[in-house]
Amino acid sequence: MKTIDVTITYLRQTRRPNRRAPHPPAHGAALLRVRRPPLHFYRYLYRLVGDQFHWVSRRRLDDDQLAAIIHDDDVHVYVLFIDGAPAGFCELDHRVSDVVEVKFFGLAPERIGQGWGAYFLWHCLDIAWSLGPGEVRLETCTLDHPAALPLYQKYGFEAVDMRRGKIETIDD
C-alpha cells in the first residue's frame, strides 16, 4: 500500500445542461440500469473503470456495507454496453433530498479517447436531472483522466471547492 497526494475538485450543476445529446461514436451502444446489482458484477464494473485511476473506496467495503449502498432504491447504477460488453458505468446517488451525486462515472480503458465519455455523461446527467433534484454534484481528483474535469465543465459543472488530500492505494 502507498499513499498518493491528490487535489480533489468538488463540482455542481444547478440546472440541467442546455446541450443536445451527442451522437454515439459508433453503433451498438445500450445504456441500462442495473437494479440491485449482484455484488460481484458491481465490483467487476468498479474495478474495470476505476483501477486505472486508483479508485479504492468501494473496494474497502465488505459485502454487507456495499449492498447497503448499491441496493438502496435511491442509488441508481447504469452500465454502458457497447456491442454487448460492459464499456462504462455510472452511479447516481439520490439518497440526499434535492441532490443527485454522481458518485462514480467512467469508461473501460479500451473505450477512452473514442468519444464515448461525452455521450455517456450526457445520458447520465439527463437521468440525474429526471430525478428532480435542485442540483447535481460530483467530485474529481488529479488521479482521474486529464479530460475528466474539462468534460464536466463543458457540461456546465462549476467548481465550488478544491482540497488537498491523500489516497491510500490497494496493491493486488
How far is residue 13's CA from residue 134's CA, in Å, rounded to a whole number?
Answer: 9
Residues 88-106 as b/e (b if ≥16 CB within 10 A, e otherwise) read: bbbbbbbeeeebbbbbbbb
Residue ranges and CATH numbers for the domains of the chain are 3-168 (3.40.630.30)
pLDDT at residue 170, rounded to an integer: 79
Tens of pLDDT along the chain (172 residues) come to: 789 999 999 999 999 988 888 898 989 999 999 999 999 999 999 999 999 999 999 999 999 999 999 999 999 999 999 999 999 999 999 999 899 999 999 999 999 999 999 999 999 999 999 999 999 999 999 999 999 999 999 999 999 999 999 888 877 6
Q: What is the pLDDT of residue 47?
A: 97
Unique residue bearing C-alpha cell 429526471:
130
pLDDT value for 2: 87
In this prediction, residue 152 carries a pLDDT of 97
- pLDDT recorded at residue 172: 67
What pLDDT score was predicted for residue 149? 96
Picking from 90, 1, 97, the residue whose alpha carbon sits closest to that of residue 45 is: 90
Q: Can you give the pLDDT at residue 53? A: 94
Read off the pTM.
0.94
Q: With CA atoms as reference, report the closest residue to 97 among 127, 69, 133, 136.
A: 133
SS3 state of residue 124: helix
* Residue 49, SS3 per DSSP: helix
CA distance 15 to 17: 6
